[in-house]
Chain A
Amino acid sequence: MIEFRAVTKRFDDGTVAVDHLDLSVAAGTITVFVGPSGCGKTTSLRMVNRMVEPTSGTVLVDGVDVRGVDPATLRRGIGYVIQQAGLFPHRTVLDNVATVPLLSGWTRRKARARAAELLELVGLPRELGSRYPVQLSGGQQQRVGVARALAADPPVLLMDEPFSAVDPVVREGLQDELLRLQAELDKTIVFVTHDIDEAVKIGERVAVFRQGGRLVQYAEPDELLSRPADEFVSSFVGRDRGYRRLSFVEGTGIEPREVPTAREEAVAGERVAPDAWTLVLDGEDRPRGWLPPRSTGDSAPPAERVLPGGSLYTRGTPLRGALDAALSSPSGLGVVVEEDGRYAGAVTAEEVLAALREHRVGPEEHTGGTR
């Protein structure tokens, strides 16, 4: 557990970066510090491993005041991941990952063996170990950065905007990977970002900071989106926070309906002339696209008229995916699939909204929403 007790940081030029911060991070959870630049989120993070010393107040890690611990020793016991990874360009990937074990006096052989395990843990092939950082993509470098932070198996992990320098698709992959790792490792993670989407996706608890180093709200993501504490938070979490909140609404109320389907081979063999939107399935029942209803004067063979499908909604996952599937589908019907990707049915946007109404919302959420 990490505790901030009345922590203030005032820099030499008089700027207050963190203003009387009281906050505790529960062990084994991911806590996200989010806010605009200059809000003190990074400074707060860096006070945990004494990269920054507070002007007043106390920071405790597992009940121990960090000021009483030698900085180098303290830091070796806390994983540290930064933006663009900060890998040592002159060392191989394997030796980068082995850094902290080597500093802690492990033998080279043992440290490297451990490093190789970690590369696999973060989803990188072992062969990458002999490469140099410059030979890796941004996403791979960031994975190595995470592996390096985990090498000595520290209970606490500090992550300072670790994924903000990679493109959105890669970022999403890294976020999923982090959540998967966390389910396995159960670390106490403090994660700093300026991206509210990332914050509500990654965080079990989210702390919103504003300029001047003030903590304005500390809550679970669902609550943050449904009940922002004030004007600042509601504008920071953004206009589509209602839509974003669907990420936290369980999709249990969705009953997929049957729609006309056809096999790919049948479509290719021109044996279909549908009267309604027809979902094309491959040999393993996986959706391939939509065949529009036959219209007069359309002479193109069916195989050429198949439209690519929208996003797929996996049964049982949050409602956001169901609504997106319906909205992105050319037929207006969102395709529902089982976990293994097989067709399960379809759902309309209206049905998703009906399911949402079923999921009762308390009256106070409406006041939160109309601000």
Chain B
Amino acid sequence: MTLSWLFDPAHWSGVDGIPVRLLQHLRYTLVAALAATLVAVPLGLFVGHTGRGGLVVVGGSNAMRALPTLGLVTFLFLVLGSGEVSALVALTVLAVPPVLAGTYAGIQDTDRGVVDAARGMGMTGWQRLWRVEVPNALPLLLGGVRNAVLQIVATTAVAAYVGLGGLGRFLLDGLRAFDYPKMVAGAVLVAALAMVLDLLLALLQRLVVPKGLRLAAGRRGRVPARAVERGGTDVAAAAATREGTSG
């Protein structure tokens, strides 16, 4: 049933067609992820490098993580009015903690001996940050970005509740009309998008993380890129759960 819904040519065109919804979803995700990265990475670098405000950042991002997604989206919707802006702000706010935590943890995770040697050899603060701490933070930093992107993809689906476009429409509209094939198709598409994006980011990570660090991670028998991620990648299930609690 779901398959026939997915492959019905009628669902592949028009303003409520799969391509349009997919591109909407993608756009929200990219805008929110970019905005969150622009806010969280510099802040994480500053806090990690100087060691100042670490407590505030960790406490703050944990508190932000505890915010109920749908509550925040609804609240901003009520405060800022309807429209994409309030939804995008909410998505950005939700994506900041994982990127911030990943960046901060990545900088802090840099071996103290390595940082001490960098200082002792005459690197200035900036040189130490860009030539030593950032390269060493990349696995955890990008892990945080991957985590944030997954969260945005899932939350965007939920945000259809306040009138946002995207793949969440299929879920919500399907639910209202008791059109279960449409709902399931929506969930499948959200999950597929999440997996494709995660795969692309994993590829990027492989390209930018220095080889020496990848070798080191292999020796330690763990993959640091995923160390700060929490939960699984089952975004459709997460979206469905949130949908259930809100309905």
Contacts and interface: CB of A to CB of B under 8 A. Distances in A.
Interface residues of B, number: 23
B123 A82 contact: no
Interface in B209-228: 210-213, 215-216, 219
Interface in A139-179: 145, 148-149, 158
Given A89-B216, A134-B216, A135-B215, A72 B114 contact: no
Interface in B117-137: 117-124, 127, 132, 135-136
Find the residue from A85, A88, A132, A133 having the highest chain B CB count within 10 A.
Answer: A88
Interface stretch (A73-81, A184-192, A263-271): A73-81
A87 B216 contact: no
Interface string A28-54: 000000000000000000000101000
B212 A80 contact: no
A132 B122 contact: no
How many chain A residues sit at the interface, stated as a range, is: 20 to 34
A317 interface: no
A86 interface: yes
B53 to A, nearest CB: 19
Contact of B120 (A49, A91, A132): A49
Nearest to B113: A86
A90 B111 contact: no
Given A75-B121, A91-B210, A82 B116 contact: yes
Nearest to B110: A89
A115 interface: no
B138 to A, nearest CB: 8
Interface of B: 111, 113-114, 116-124, 127, 132, 135-136, 210-213, 215-216, 219
15 contacts: A51-B116, A71-B122, A72-B124, A76-B122, A82-B117, A86-B116, A86-B117, A87-B117, A88-B117, A89-B111, A89-B136, A90-B136, A90-B210, A91-B210, A134-B215
Given A103-B123, A132-B211, 14 more contacts: A49-B120, A51-B120, A75-B119, A75-B122, A76-B122, A77-B122, A80-B117, A83-B113, A88-B114, A90-B135, A132-B215, A133-B212, A133-B216, A145-B117
